[in-house]
A and B are shown apart, each in its own frame.
Chain A
């Protein structure tokens, strides 16, 4: 049985101030983790209300304008307050220094600032709810957003502020990776999670400012009637879409790349196999980061942009799919001749391979212009991006959360509960979203409060699926919270992993590692070294 390390970052030093002003990346990461889990909960509850409303074709439990506020809120919370910060700012903050053998990130004060900026942005965004809510959809399309009387300014200003938090974290990670890798850890000996975080940071720094500018322009237009996007004032509404997607498409990769990083860690650890095609995976992350800036127009095939632009955007969209495919194949090859065990994190990795493949492959329907014309803005798109963002990023996040949970808290959760919950999540998720692919192909538009009778049956299936999904999450909430009190001590390395983070006690000591830390083996050298499981 493992031991619980008594002197750790959770209890040294003590006192509320030592948390509020902490420069320790682990504490900051933990505060992020707490915040994003709260937002996941809120966003999830809203999703349940939305699905309940859609159980029947007509109006049921909320009015149309409330419904519009709810789906806007669901999208904005899940994207800006949960998924984007989930892996980089929460898990990444805790893990990045540990994975490269550093004592902290390179710029600890900036790290704390980014947390406070995040809190400020979140508060501003939340303020928009009490001041009437926002009914534009998370995409804030003009001229709807420049003319509606809901609280668009505070919501966009919140997103603007949140963007800075994201930029700060990105800068910090890039500097950290460049400057603080321990002696012996060359670029190609870094864990792939670090490559994922690095590629993400690059996109965060390059793309987020464009969102910031766009939102400022929108605010200027609304407050001072400067005509930029609103045709009534001489603006061009489609310009907004270009600006918005210039950020928001790369943002999809801000969300998925770190998730892919986690999957590389999970598959190797639980297959006890050297990663297959290390360089292919690392470079495909960079390739994705690069190409992701040139595909935004695929959100706009029906907007009236020229046929030529549509053609270019379509080609590049197909190209950006290839690196993701390469990763999937390499992960599969990693499992070959492994020594595979099926603890909860590995279940999530396998779920990821299943759901993310669906997410990626259904992108083919949308990248191809002729079929996209039919499917654009229907439930097909809703299903597609939930498969990518929830089936991809969130499944990876949940895998990572369960994987590093013993490292973060020093205690194990109940494994049986974990597996049951993973299966509920898997079943519920697919049951919720597979019907939506069919609904979309049948022509049901997205953001519909009511729908025509022929879409009824599949909507019922989808709503019932959302309840199963919720059951999985509630079970997870239960056993994770319980584990903090009565979980078995995990010891340094409950999974027998070769990653550096597992060589230090759990929970992690305040200084991360002893001074005599040496780089003895790579994170994936399962062909040479065996690490004993401490549980």
Chain B
């Protein structure tokens, strides 16, 4: 059970989350007090000054009070300036990236996240990071604008197609946290979710070493099935014959497929390879050319694995 979780906020799991929460709670309590004041005064006046007798009489003509106007202008002004400075201070803290931060490259595209590590690791929809270590994300998008949001870290940054954006955080607790895309990006927007897995430092090092060596033991078809999930192919392709954004893989291997330029081809290993590395070269009839390229993201063995996996889907 999360101990530092409140009704409003999820547990605070990064170094800046605590600062953000203090400010959040300060605003919550002060605005809450003002709101209660307004409602209580309103209710009191409404009851106290309700019309009692049927007789109409003129009412007081007092319509201005200098002191009151000054009070209710100045006090809120002071309050908002306090909130402003506080908010800006925390924001600056969010923005200064520690020099020793480890850097990970993040790519957003419809509708998944890819994380590239210096060690040559490349994974989809799961960001693995060490605890108590500043992490810097260098982010860009392949298509439209996305936004990288980890509620538990209280941090968010848009991911743009024409420039890099930066984000950093330092997680304070081992665990798994939700990662959401918060900039609307189309049909799969609400499925563009991943996980941030925070590991103890030692385990993180171990994970790096293990992931960096290529997996040569898993049987090909099984490897392909893993990749189908890991690389988020399932967001666009089904294996049961139902039509999603892209064609289903069920029963396509060895059969002819029609393209939008009128040509036909037979789905074989080479065709699949081309579909992955240069997806727009041949576009299946009736589908939009939205399949992202996996150039540089899949090893040869992995491509073999995917082909083997598709072959099994009779």
Contacts and interface: CB of A to CB of B under 8 A. Distances in A.
Nearest to A316: B84
Contacts of A445: 149, 180-182, 190
A447 B49 contact: no
Interface in B43-61: 45-46, 49-51, 56-61
A519 interface: no
8 nearest A-B residue pairs (beta carbon): A443-B151, A527-B61, A368-B87, A231-B162, A370-B90, A361-B31, A448-B190, A318-B80
A335 B154 contact: no
B87 A369 contact: yes
Contact of B35 (A275, A358, A441): A358
Interface of B: 7-10, 19-20, 23-24, 27-28, 31, 34-35, 38-39, 41-42, 45-46, 49-51, 56-65, 68-69, 72-73, 76-77, 80-81, 83-84, 86-92, 94-95, 143-145, 147, 149, 151-152, 154-158, 160-163, 165, 178, 180-191, 193, 288
Interface string A490-534: 000000100000000000000000000000000011111110100
B300 to A, nearest CB: 30
Interface stretch (A302-310, A398-406, A415-423, A466-474): A302-310
Nearest to A449: B190
Given A276-B63, A445-B180, 18 more contacts: A135-B187, A302-B156, A314-B87, A326-B69, A329-B68, A332-B38, A332-B45, A338-B45, A361-B31, A364-B83, A370-B23, A374-B154, A376-B182, A442-B8, A447-B190, A452-B193, A527-B58, A528-B58
A455 to B, nearest CB: 10
A354 B94 CA distance: 35
A372 B155 CA distance: 9
Nearest to B75: A325
B38 A353 contact: yes
A328 interface: yes
Interface string A100-138: 000000000000000000000000000000000001110
A325 B87 CA distance: 20
A335 B42 contact: yes
B77 A322 contact: yes
A328 B38 contact: yes
B16 to A, nearest CB: 8
A277 interface: yes
A387 to B, nearest CB: 11
A526 B59 contact: yes
B94 A370 contact: yes
Given A302-B147, A304-B157, A340-B46, A141 B184 contact: yes
A14 B7 CA distance: 61
11 contacts: A237-B162, A276-B64, A322-B76, A332-B45, A353-B42, A358-B35, A371-B27, A445-B149, A446-B182, A528-B61, A532-B56
Interface stretch (A151-159, A212-220, A266-274): A266-274
A482 interface: no
B78 to A, nearest CB: 11
Interface residues of A, number: 96
Interface in A287-338: 302-304, 307, 310-311, 314-315, 318-319, 321-322, 325-326, 328-330, 332-333, 335-338
A370 B87 contact: yes
Nearest to B77: A322
A450 B191 contact: yes
A137 B189 CA distance: 12
A342 interface: yes
A377 B31 CA distance: 21
Nearest to A524: B63
B184 A447 contact: yes
A211 to B, nearest CB: 20
A364 B145 contact: no
A338 B155 CA distance: 49
Given A322-B76, A357-B38, A443 B178 contact: yes
Contacts of B42: 332, 335, 350, 353-354
A486 interface: no
B260 to A, nearest CB: 14
Contacts of B39: 353-354, 357
Contacts of B10: 442-443
A65 interface: yes
B87 A361 contact: no
B229 to A, nearest CB: 18
B191 A370 contact: no
Contacts of A136: 184
B49 A339 contact: yes
A377 B182 contact: yes
B64 A364 contact: no
B49 A337 contact: yes
A442 B31 contact: no
Interface string A364-392: 11011111111011100000000000000
Nearest to A339: B51
A273 B60 contact: yes
A448 B190 CA distance: 5
A149 interface: yes
Contacts of A311: 88
